[in-house]
Amino acid sequence: MDYSEKVMDHFLNPRNMGEIENADAVGEVGNPQCGDIMRLYLKINDNKIVDAKFKTFGCGAAIASSSMLTELVIGKSIDEALDISNELVEEALGGLPDVKRHCSLLAEQALLSAIENYAKKRGIEIKTRKKRKK
């Protein structure tokens, strides 16, 4: 299986790995039976994501997708972060093999889960991409 240099770099040197104490948002997705579990932590100030960290149990593509996701979300507003798709994560990594594309989807789902967690804690409604397109 061929991986891009960016995938290998983010797998071997993951960015923002770890936890955020007192995170404003935490999202977890995955399935222990299949082996890929992603947990994403966000620190949010004034509707802006100021820090993001992850813990991922999974293959190299899952770790690389989590790492890239954190780089893509830091500095973004909640609305801007909601526009980050699995396709964007995959593109930023220089592509993923077809059998590993689900890893970028897990990254997108972890982000949505974290943002939904943030909204629920604050009693606010967040318009996800699907809700905004209607």
Active site residues: 34, 103
Other residues' Cβ atoms within 10 Å of the Cβ of residue 133: 7
Distance between CA 99 and CA 112 in Å, rounded? Answer: 22
- Sequence-distant (≥ 6) Cβ neighbours of residue 28 within 8 angstroms: 37, 38, 39, 40, 110, 113
Kindly report the backbone phi and psi dihedral angles of residue 94, in degrees, each rounded to the nearest multiple of 5, phi listed first: 80, 20
Token pair, residue 119, equals: 């909204």
Other residues' Cβ atoms within 10 Å of the Cβ of residue 120: 12
The SS3 of residue 56 is: strand
